[in-house]
Structure 1
């Protein structure tokens, strides 16, 4: 169904192709998973299938890509729309109407389908993706995960023979992701649809793949084969595979069910051993060094700030000076960095938060979890003054966010939003870093050192829009960290990140927590919560329904338990590094 024949793609004046040596076939009716580290060209390959490369993105395409016999070099995307449906990383970039129902119908209108056919397919898709209750909602009022489901639905209504999806579950909670993957399996198994998707959260999808295409890294030719065989050689692997490799299982397991069948002996070896959380006090990060690790919190200084597009009232800013090892700036020693009391927030006619109580202390890492639309992003927004309380109170470092001038509030809190491009608006990585240093009154090169640590190998001359989603997020995080906020808020911080990039992020955040910074992250990534957070808060319907130590909250929740917890239950293990340390095999 899809054929790559010696394909390479080179953009602009780039010194090397984004992808090269691609000679692969994806058979009809298969679910094929595209894996590899961030920035190796996965999105480029997907765009070549739907014709966006080279007709829309530019660049030079060598070789040939055919889909259902059509050559993408001679067929523009509109001429492939009846056979290829595409869902990108950012749904808002693709929406062309205002409401959910109109968006589902738009693609069929473009294809000239009869009204009665359109109406039937819209209803089928609303039910299929659990969107019936949102049919009249404005797209801009939906959560990120809800928008992703609408984007997938707008493609499915056209009944394409090939579906191309880039990070389709990255913004979805675990339950919603399972629903989407179940839909994809039904399309593959029952209708013979060919699905090609790229996904960094391999723990969600690898067990469903018929084939895996592995892009190992720059200059290496792609490889294709059965999932277990490819995972044995892949530089990015889900926890279930890493645990299988640690235990010496062969073939490597791909699902929790497969691993549990082999786990009795491993559970016996671990019985009687108490797991140690990586963020326990005796595991605190070492003092950071000048080679790119975050410096200690600094004393207040003069700030220069710029308005951030898309985030009203927020500014970049920071401080520079010597640290004395005390609590971060903006909070008195021993005082909480943030306090929320009986908070209620309304967004239009929707009560987004109800009677929420939350306290975040210095050095504490809190994961906010819950299904899409539960109120996680709204709570983060209230902490930075984007949402005024309908009732209750919010204080951050003693300040009331929605009544505090941005230049003052930035001394207390920084937010990395779901859409990292909201923080990026100059032409090169080097210019972004220089601007961040100026805005934070930080020493020249501070932001660039953070970028080198979070995003190794990225050129100073690269335009931020040419980075992958995960790379842009890492750059935005470095920009915010340059300002050294005592309280750091992150909204879906691992969206688009591979496992290596996630590990680098975890290392930096642990060091920040060890030096007294509070961290609150809203995430659907249960593996990140297990690895990083000491405390998990679960929201549902705008209310807090659970708040406690990570090992207690997530292990008791089938939806939010990490893979290792499911495999080794009833033992209280959460992560592969915990198991490796207990077995004496940790690096």
Structure 2
């Protein structure tokens, strides 16, 4: 069978603004045949995304650095072929698809690659309709993709990548933000693509589908492929995978069971949503509210997991807590203060917020300064700031990248820096939007353990997550949203009150 991807002795060294190049790939060799699914797994920062970018031409044509070795994809030598020509046969879905959007309407975004290939207008319309239906995003046809939720944006990016039926599809951590319905839609699409002879490369920490369907599995550690095998690696070498941080699929878990919240359990509420509606600025064809009559009192010292399908309003709910957006109707009270009466800067003393996209948070070009930034801005003494930063660098093992430019790091490493910067403020309320997406199992466990310890000390935590297992394991409460409405809110397990949780933190 013909190899549609050939990688031989591939090395890549990122250029550095500090004069020290970063070696991301070392002597990488791999082959993928037409009609086969290849999975690339490994810990955070192991070079998975870099390899994916080398298959699309982003490396070496867009990012600065030095390429050695050979890459051929769909009969094209990547080194001597332009990105636009490579994209005619290779579809690519990155971790942050918003960066690749080129239009302000979903149907135009999906039509764009077809128009570039000179496809007839009638055929474009039919194909766009087909893709919208496959991904169940017909309702977003006339929406600006940037106004959608992260999961909905990912569906649009997938639609754009598959619209022209590429010979090769590269997926980089797309499952992290898709709900179960979105993931199933993707699986159905991949089965059709593989059946028609396309090759699929899936880079992901979620290995459930790989375990059942991958023909090749490449395990990367430290920029090298240390195992090149089939899906039997998930059973035969499970201990090796787990030792480097790759999550091994387990049996499907039952849905979260949320108990009834008793009135006395919210007598001391630190956050209150009082009949809140929120209406995003949208197209003329869609004026439905993103949040509808949200009426919730969150107990002081709780650890609340916010769950629900893509587009249900999770991120909108979270961004109201630190005054990023204000209600269209109703009130949001944070420790009895109306968010309308104070801006984001003042609220930063009460609420530390982790954005779903870490790059949106970066304010400096140095990892250590990034972690120091917020506590310095809050007027915390330098000695205490230094103590906190050193502890976080140690906790997340950031020593090797401490002096690096965050923008030059992998997406997983960027998330680690953003997590550390968020925790450095040590505010009474911690708000986390999909905090562990892109982190390997070891780092995910380390971070969540740290957050739970903060919660045990009395810090109130609000976390949006598509991972019901994560919520069940770490949270004290769950809040379920659907179509902008709260359908369930209450404890997940009997609460053990602490002295810290029984009083105001500040």
Conserved 8 A contact 1:455-1:475: no
CA deviations over 1:102-135 (Å, ceiling 9, x no partner)? 1011111112222122112111111111111110
**Quick one: which of 228, 233, 239 aligns to 1:229?**
233
State whether residues 145 and 372 of structure 1, in contact with CA within 8 Å, keep that contact through their aligned partners in structure 2.
Answer: yes
- CA spacing shift, 1:86–1:405, aligned 2, 3 Å: closer
C-alpha separation in 1, matches of 2:415 and 2:69: 32
Structure 1 residues 374, 221: closer, same or farther in 2, change over 3 A?
Answer: closer
Deviation at 1:148, TM superposition (A): 0.6
- Aligned equivalents of 1:176, 1:219: Cα separation in 2: 30
Alpha-carbon shift at residue 359 of structure 1 (Å) = 2.1
Q: 1:345 aligns with which of 254, 278, 283?
A: 278
Contact 1:363–1:512 (Cα < 8 Å) also in 2: no
Contact 2:113–2:160 under 8 Å retained in 1: yes
Partner of 2:303: 365
Tell me whether 1:160 sits opposite 2:102 in the alignment.
Answer: no
Residues 433, 448 of structure 1: 8 Å contact kept: no
**2-side partners of 1:59 and 1:97: how far apart?**
29
Tell me the alpha carbon deviations over residues 240-283 of structure 1, each in whole angstroms, 9 at most, x when there is no partner. Answer: 35xxxxxxxxxxxxx659xx9xxxxxxxxxxxxxxxxxxxxxxx
- SS at structure 1 position matched to 2:175: coil
Match of 2:418 in 1: 476
Q: Pick one of 234, 238, 241 that aligns with 2:247.
A: 238
Contact 2:354 2:432 in 1 (8 A): yes
Q: Is the 8 A contact 1:455 1:471 kept in 2?
A: no
1:20 to 26, 30, 55: 26
- Determine helix, strand or coil for the equivalent of 2:306: strand
Structure 1 residue matching 2:165: 3-state secondary structure = coil
Q: Spell out the pairing of 1:67-466 with structure 2 (5 A cutoff).
A: 67-188=73-194, 190-203=195-208, 205-215=210-220, 217-218=221-222, 220-230=224-234, 231-232=237-238, 233-234=240-241, 235-240=244-249, 256=252, 335-348=268-281, 349-442=287-380, 443-445=384-386, 446-466=388-408
- Corresponding residue of 2:258: none
Alpha-carbon deviation of 1:239? 4.9
Q: Is the 8 A contact 1:451 1:474 kept in 2?
A: no
Give the direction of change, closer, same or farther, for the CA distance of 1:136–1:501 in structure 2 (3 Å limit).
same
- Cα root mean square deviation, aligned: 2.2
Show structure 2 runs of 5+ residues with no match: 255-265, 282-286, 495-506
Q: What secondary structure does 1:363 align onto?
A: coil
CA 1:161–1:405: 2 relative to 1, 3 Å: closer
Select which of 440, 443, 461 maps to 1:519. Answer: 461
The alpha-carbon distance between structure 1 residues 65 and 220, as it changes in their structure 2 partners (threshold 3 A), is closer
Aligned partners of 1:177 and 1:444: how far apart in 2?
Answer: 41
Partner in structure 1 of residue 435 of structure 2: 493
Matched, 1:539 2:481: yes
- Tell me the TM-score normalised to structure 2 length: 0.87
TM-score (norm 1): 0.75
SS of the aligned residue for 1:23 comes to: strand
Instruction: Tell me the distance in 2 between the aligned counterparts of 1:187 and 1:47.
Output: 21
Find the counterpart in structure 2 of residue 317 from structure 1: none
Distance 1:97 1:69, change over 3 A: same
Contact 1:424 1:476 (8 Å CA) reproduced: yes
Between the aligned partners of 1:91 and 1:26, the Cα distance in structure 2 is 25
Deviations 1:464-508 (A, max 9, x none): 111222221221222222221111111111121111111111111
CA distance in 1 between partners of 2:6 and 2:423 (Å): 44
DSSP 3-state at the match of 1:392: strand
Q: Distance in 2 between matches of 1:79 and 1:178?
A: 31
Give the 3 Å change call, closer, same or farther, for CA 256–433 of structure 1 in structure 2: closer
State the SS of the aligned residue for 2:337.
Answer: coil
Query: CA 1:110 to 1:220, structure 2 compared with 1: closer, same or farther past 3 Å?
Result: closer
- Give the CA deviation at 1:338: 0.8
Question: In the superposition, relative to structure 1, how do residues 407 and 71 fare at CA in structure 2: closer, same or farther (>3 Å)?
Answer: closer
- Runs of 5+ consecutive residues of structure 1 not aligned to the other structure: 242-254, 261-332, 553-587
Instruction: Specify the SS of the correspondent of 1:212.
Output: strand
Q: Deviations over 1:45-102 (max 9, x none)?
A: 0011111111111211111011122211111211212211111111110000000011
Q: What's the counterpart of residue 445 of structure 2? A: 503
Which residue pairs with 1:7 in the alignment? 10
Give the 3 Å change call, closer, same or farther, for CA 204–433 of structure 1 in structure 2.
same
Q: By percentage of residues, which structure has more strand?
A: 2
Cα shift at 1:513: 0.2
- What SS does the aligned partner of 2:326 have? coil
**SS where residue 378 of structure 1 aligns?**
helix
Q: Secondary structure at the match of 1:497?
A: coil
